[in-house]
């Protein structure tokens, strides 16, 4: 009789620990733990802040999920964010932009931004799939090249004077729903359906599990890998649209600091660096977790360096929990 | 007479209740070479693994010199003076020759308390050892830059450096060129002169007769022949190795092949791999390909399926030539391929059974326009395919392929191809590493497919199963087809001889 309560609570713990929503629970736990020390954390204004900070990070992290599931990695996403921002802004700006003042300025600007992302993604994917170069090297070098290129193009100057219609994407809303939320939600849904329900999505998982077996089974491995990197480039470009609109400027060093946040968020969510395992939903939770930590530490008025220390420690703790969880899962 | 250095008495070993060695006794004398031959699965490797400390015998005794020999691990056997040179060499290809030689115990010196490796000492010692096996490479050379033959010499030099008294060579010539083989034999002769004993395992019976002083023949885990080589001829060795009546291990074939050709190969060549391969496969026919490892049989299968390229010749699938090197295209045109390496190429080992079965035919479950996979239909089809091959698993969508037994894993691979309804199915070693019951099921599936009109290419190193299942058998050796036999002419000894012999045919 006495043991029934602990047994039941242990079963609940097990369910929580092994749930695929584990990181979501961890986020909630973290939120509740920090709340007493920073009551403003739960203010409606701050909650909105957390969500709007999440969205660009979420967009680029979704793309990264595609690549990680193929057992690759895309380090070039931050350079895509920066270069897209610069290209888009130089098309749209009223300060001597290519299509300055035209009605076409905003759609053309966005199209250029997305095309930039897809183009760099295609370049990465082609080098990796056709030339069999290691993803780490390819995307590290494209990251260096295009980051430098963005700064060189602009002479390190930000580009302001973006059209109102474009800036509205960052701050406007349809009724209650802000545009960025709408955009990120559409992207996440499309990505989720692509990964889990389409043929290409299933191929991406198969390649991540075992590329050789996938090839023998008739999976067009090269084409699928190129697709994954192009998707990552596209998602990074969407993130660039959201960031650029919010900051109202084209910035050649946009997103430079978030590379490790992106990869940490996806991996914390549960996507494996070794491929074959990962979900868009998990990435949503991972991004929520990272954003929450960032936000709460600022709330607690830590210095930049302290934030880095604490963030590093918390991410390490989460990774440790994940490793522990996988060990227990394997032992079952 | 020379002295006995190693003696096994009544060694017995079983795996999961299946006896692999039954009362095996052997004697190895100092300065002599003992050749051990037998079919795959006769127990050669198990016996050597017991001597080399990889496995432990269930019963029986081994005496090494004056003492009992029961090594608990390979390192212990090595210290006792038994060096086991495996089929796949155990060298670190990223390290230098000298580092490989001394990897187990580097000679060290202390400089301000730090244990540093005495590089010059190991270099000099290595160079001397390499000279003793006539290998003229630098001690600093990286192993990855050496040819297979040179690597083998490095292994032998390493054994000599550790004062090995007995060297076990397991199929040492499979990856060597003929000149490297001659050099290896020269070294073996010289080592024998120095009083070192060797156990030489090979499928190449001619080599065994030429090289060895004594010969031991194993069949089904028993010693069926033993003595100095003068007592043996090639013929006698083969009949001792084979001599077994065929049991009722195979289903009887339920239909005859038709005359219609589904696959035609015309003078197919890829220099150094396969030479001038020509054959036809008929509808409903099971065509066997027999050959040793390295005979070109697997390479041929990979070329047929578009995994590797070919330079000359033509492949016609259902009358249409295949030009591109692409498995994707082959599948589309009705070919299927079961690889010999199930884990590396056949399965997504960590994915679910359902994902594995559905992989090949995934596009056919997608609705045309949005490209969405119809999951319920896919699951139903996977279930039907699983039932057709009598797959035993608890859940198609939750159980991963890794948790299945070897036989059930192979059924998953078969099921995945059956969903596509192929017209030509190339099976490379479909019964490797699966138990007898599962083997029968695989044969049954093959018979059913053939009865439905599928043309099957069945590659195997077990001649008996080819004879049990095939309508015709092609024998391959050294990249060429040596013989083609119809069912009425099947003769195990002939097949064996053709596969084993060097270029002795005109």
pLDDT digits (tens, 9 = 90+) for A129-186: 999 999 999 999 999 999 999 999 999 899 998 999 999 888 888 888 889 999 999 9
Is B146's Cβ below 8 Å from some Cβ in A? no
Residue B385, in any domain of the structure = yes
B window 312-341, beta carbon within 8 A of A: 327-328, 330-332, 337, 339
Is B355's Cβ below 8 Å from some Cβ in A? yes
Is A222's Cβ below 8 Å from some Cβ in B? no
Residue A61, in any domain of the structure = yes
Is A36's Cβ below 8 Å from some Cβ in B? no
Six token digits for residue B85: 């040179």
B window 294-313, beta carbon within 8 A of A: 305, 307
Residue A2, in any domain of the structure = no
User: Same structural domain for residues B208 and B197?
Assistant: yes
Q: Which domain holds residue A248?
A: 19-331
Q: Is the dihedral of CA A321, A292, A72, B413 positive or negative?
A: positive
Does residue B283 register a pLDDT over 80? yes
Q: How far is B344 from chain A (nearest CA, A)?
A: 7
Q: Which domain holds residue B57?
A: 4-242
pLDDT the model gives residue B87: 66
Per DSSP, the residues of B390-449 read T---S-TTTSBGGGS-HHHHHHHHHHHHHTT--SEEEEESTTTT--HHHHHHHHHHHHHH
Q: How far is A202 from chain B (nearest CA, A)?
A: 8
Nearest chain A residue (CA) to B346: A213
B428 forms bridges with which residues in the sheet?
B459
Count the alpha carbons within 13 Å of B207 in the hemisphere toward its beta carbon: 24
Residue B75, in any domain of the structure = yes
- The CA distance from B461 to B427, in Å, is 12
Report the number of distinct structural domains present in chain A.
1
- pLDDT grade for B504, boundaries at 50, 70 and 90: very low
Six token digits for residue B294: 């390295």
Per-residue pLDDT averaged across A220-247, rounded? 96
Residue range B228-279, pLDDT digits in tens: 989 988 878 877 887 654 455 688 888 889 889 999 999 999 998 899 999 9
Residue A14, in any domain of the structure = no
Per-residue pLDDT averaged across A62-85, rounded? 96
Does residue B41 register a pLDDT over 70? no
Do B371 and A199 make contact, defined as CB atoms within 8 angstroms? yes
Residue B213, in any domain of the structure = yes
User: Same structural domain for residues B93 and B219?
Assistant: yes
User: Same structural domain for residues B32 and B98?
Assistant: yes
User: Same structural domain for residues B290 and B221?
Assistant: no
- Please tell me the least confidently modeled range out of A206-210, B24-28, B186-190, B430-434: B430-434
Which residue is listed with tokens 């003492």? B67
pLDDT the model gives residue B1: 44
- pLDDT grade for A1, boundaries at 50, 70 and 90: very low
**Rounded to the nearest 5 degrees, what angle is found at the Cα of B419, between the Cα atoms of B414 and B420?**
105
Q: How far is B421 from chain A (nearest CA, A)?
A: 14
pLDDT the model gives residue B347: 94
User: Same structural domain for residues B212 and B257?
Assistant: no
Report the number of distinct structural domains present in chain B.
3
Is B350's Cβ below 8 Å from some Cβ in A? yes
A window 271-290, beta carbon within 8 A of B: 276-277
User: Same structural domain for residues B416 and B429?
Assistant: no
Per DSSP, the residues of A65-123 read HHHHHTT---TTHHHHHHHHHHHHHHHH-TTT-TTTT-TTHHHHHHHHHHHHHHHHHHH
A window 174-193, beta carbon within 8 A of B: 193
Residue A1, in any domain of the structure = no
Closest Cβ–Cβ partner in B349, B351, B360 for A218: B360
Residues of A in contact with B363 (CB under 8 A): 199
Residue A3, in any domain of the structure = no
Judged by DSSP in three states, B224 sits in: strand
Q: The CATH number of the domain where A242 resides is what?
A: 1.10.3470
- pLDDT grade for A299, boundaries at 50, 70 and 90: confident
User: Same structural domain for residues B187 and B282?
Assistant: no
User: Same structural domain for residues B37 and B163?
Assistant: yes
- pLDDT grade for A64, boundaries at 50, 70 and 90: very high
Six token digits for residue A180: 């960025």
Comparing B485 with A14, which gets the higher pLDDT?
A: B485
Does residue B151 register a pLDDT over 80? yes
Which residue among B421, B440, B461 closes a domain?
B421
B476 forms bridges with which residues in the sheet?
B481
Determine the residue among B371, B401, B403, B409 to mutate to test chain A binding: the one whose Cβ has the most chain A Cβ atoms within 10 Å: B371
Residue B339, in any domain of the structure = no
Are B309 and B302 contacting, i.e. CB atoms less than 8 angstroms apart? no
DSSP β-ladder status, B274-282 and B261-270: antiparallel
Six token digits for residue A23: 């990181």
User: Same structural domain for residues B326 and B361?
Assistant: no
Closest CA to A206 of B97, B361, B235: B361
- The CA distance from B186 to B198, in Å, is 13
What average pLDDT does chain A have? 90
Residue A9, in any domain of the structure = no
Residue A13, in any domain of the structure = no
pLDDT the model gives residue B17: 67
Q: The CATH number of the domain where B463 resides is what?
A: 3.40.50.300
Do A198 and B348 make contact, defined as CB atoms within 8 angstroms? no
Are B74 and B164 contacting, i.e. CB atoms less than 8 angstroms apart? no
User: Same structural domain for residues B227 and B352?
Assistant: no
Comparing A74 with B143, which gets the higher pLDDT?
A: A74
User: Same structural domain for residues B96 and B210?
Assistant: yes
Residues of B in contact with A219 (CB under 8 A): 328, 359
pLDDT the model gives residue A5: 58
Six token digits for residue A77: 């996403």
User: Same structural domain for residues B312 and B360?
Assistant: no
Residue A11, in any domain of the structure = no
Which residue among B242, B271, B298 closes a domain?
B242
Helix (H) or strand (E) holding B448: helix B436-451
């Amino acid at each position: 009789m006495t043991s029934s309560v602990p047994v039941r609570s242990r079963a609940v713990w097990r369910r929580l620990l092994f749930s695929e929503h584990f990181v979501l629970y961890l986020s909630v736990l973290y939120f509740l733990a920090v709340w007493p020390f920073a009551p403003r954390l739960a203010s409606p204004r701050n909650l909105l802040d957390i969500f709007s900070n999440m969205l660009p990070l979420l967009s680029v992290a979704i793309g990264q999920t595609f690549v990680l599931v193929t057992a690759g990695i895309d380090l070039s996403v931050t350079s895509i964010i920066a270069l897209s921002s610069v290209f888009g802004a130089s098309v749209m700006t009223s300060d001597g932009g290519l299509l300055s003042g035209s009605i076409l300025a905003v759609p053309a600007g966005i199209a250029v931004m997305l095309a930039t992302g897809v183009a760099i993604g295609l370049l990465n994917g082609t080098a990796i799939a056709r030339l069999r170069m290691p993803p780490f090297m390819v995307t590290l070098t494209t990251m260096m090249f295009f980051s430098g290129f963005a700064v060189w193009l602009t002479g390190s100057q930000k580009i302001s004077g973006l059209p109102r219609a474009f800036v509205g994407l960052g701050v406007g809303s349809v009724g209650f729903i802000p545009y960025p939320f709408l955009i990120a939600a559409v992207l996440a849904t499309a990505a989720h359906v692509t990964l889990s329900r389409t043929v290409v999505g299933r191929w991406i998982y198969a390649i991540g599990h075992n590329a050789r077996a996938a090839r023998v089974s008739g999976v067009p491995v090269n084409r699928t890998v190129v697709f994954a990197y192009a998707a990552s480039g596209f998602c990074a470009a969407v993130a660039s649209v959201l960031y650029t609109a919010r900051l109202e400027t084209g910035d050649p060093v946009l997103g430079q600091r978030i590379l490790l946040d992106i990869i940490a968020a996806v991996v914390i969510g549960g996507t494996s660096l070794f491929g074959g395992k990962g979900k868009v939903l998990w990435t949503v939770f991972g991004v929520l977790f990272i954003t929450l930590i960032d936000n709460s530490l600022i709330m607690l008025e830590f210095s930049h360096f302290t934030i880095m220390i604490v963030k590093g420690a918390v991410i390490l703790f989460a990774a440790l929990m994940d490793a522990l969880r996988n060990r227990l899962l394997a032992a079952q | 007479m020379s002295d006995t250095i190693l003696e096994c008495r009544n060694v017995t070993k079983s795996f999961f209740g299946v006896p692999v060695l039954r009362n095996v006794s052997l004697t190895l004398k100092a300065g002599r070479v003992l050749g051990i031959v037998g079919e795959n699965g006769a127990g050669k490797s198990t016996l050597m693994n017991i001597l080399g400390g990889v496995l432990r015998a269930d019963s029986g005794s081994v005496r090494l010199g004056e003492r009992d020999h029961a090594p608990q691990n390979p390192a212990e056997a090595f210290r006792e003076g038994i060096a086991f040179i495996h089929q796949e060499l155990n060298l670190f290809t990223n390290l230098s020759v000298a580092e490989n030689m001394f990897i187990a115990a580097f000679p060290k010196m202390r400089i301000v308390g730090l244990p540093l490796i005495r590089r010059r000492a190991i270099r000099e010692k290595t160079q001397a050892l390499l000279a003793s096996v006539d290998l003229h490479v630098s001690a600093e050379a990286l192993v990855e830059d050496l040819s297979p033959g040179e690597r083998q010499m490095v292994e032998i030099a390493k054994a000599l450096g550790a004062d090995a008294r007995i060297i076990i060579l397991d199929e040492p010539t499979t990856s060597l060129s003929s000149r490297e083989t001659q050099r290896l034999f020269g070294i073996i002769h010289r080592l024998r002169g120095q009083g070192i004993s060797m156990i030489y395992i090979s499928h190449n019976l001619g080599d065994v007769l030429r090289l060895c002083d004594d010969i031991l023949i194993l069949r089904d885990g028993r010693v069926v022949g033993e003595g100095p080589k003068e007592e043996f001829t090639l013929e006698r060795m083969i009949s001792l190795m084979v001599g077994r009546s065929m049991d009722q291990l195979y289903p009887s074939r339920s239909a005859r092949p038709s005359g219609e050709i589904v696959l035609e190969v015309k003078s197919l060549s890829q220099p150094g791999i396969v030479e001038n391969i020509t054959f036809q496969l008929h509808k409903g026919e099971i065509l066997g390909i027999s050959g040793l490892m390295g005979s070109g049989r697997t390479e041929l299968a990979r070329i047929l399926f578009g995994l590797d390229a070919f330079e000359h010749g033509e492949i016609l699938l259902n009358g249409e030539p295949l030009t591109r090197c692409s498995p994707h295209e082959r599948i589309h045109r009705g070919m299927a391929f079961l690889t010999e390496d199930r884990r590396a190429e056949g399965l997504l080992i960590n994915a679910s059974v359902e994902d594995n079965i559905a992989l090949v035919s995934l596009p056919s479950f997608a609705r045309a326009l949005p490209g969405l996979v119809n999951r319920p239909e896919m699951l139903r089809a996977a279930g039907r395919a699983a039932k057709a091959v009598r797959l035993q698993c608890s859940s198609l969508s939750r159980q991963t392929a890794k948790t299945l037994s070897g036989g059930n894993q192979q059924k998953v691979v078969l099921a995945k191809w059956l969903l596509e309804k192929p017209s030509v199915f190339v099976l490379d070693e479909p019964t490797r590493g699966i138990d007898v019951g599962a083997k029968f099921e695989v044969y049954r599936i093959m018979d059913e497919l053939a009865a439905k009109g599928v043309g099957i290419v069945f590659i195997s190193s077990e001649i008996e199963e080819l004879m049990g299942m095939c309508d015709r058998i092609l024998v391959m050796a050294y990249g060429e087809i040596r013989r083609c036999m119809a069912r009425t002419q099947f003769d195990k000894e002939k097949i064996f001889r053709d596969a084993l012999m060097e270029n002795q045919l005109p």
